[in-house]
Amino acid sequence: MAYRNILIPTDGTQTSENIIEFICSIQKVMKAQINVVYVVEVPRNLPLGIPIPEKADLAREAVERVKAIAEKHDVQVNTSIIYARTMDDSIMSTAEELKCDVIAIAQDNQKLRFFSNNASNIYQRAKCSVWLFNNKS
Q: Encode pLDDT of 33-57 as tens digits.
A: 999 999 999 999 999 878 889 999 9
Domains of the chain: 5-135 (3.40.50.620)
pLDDT at 114 over 60: no
* pLDDT in the model for residue 137: 55
How many residues does the structure list for the chain? 137
**Burial class (CB within 10 angstroms; exposed 0-12, middle 13-18, buried 19+) of 54:** exposed
* pLDDT in the model for residue 100: 96
For the entire predicted model, the pTM comes to 0.89
For residue 87, which phi and psi values (nearest 5 degrees)?
-65, -50
Tell me the three state secondary structure of residue 133: strand
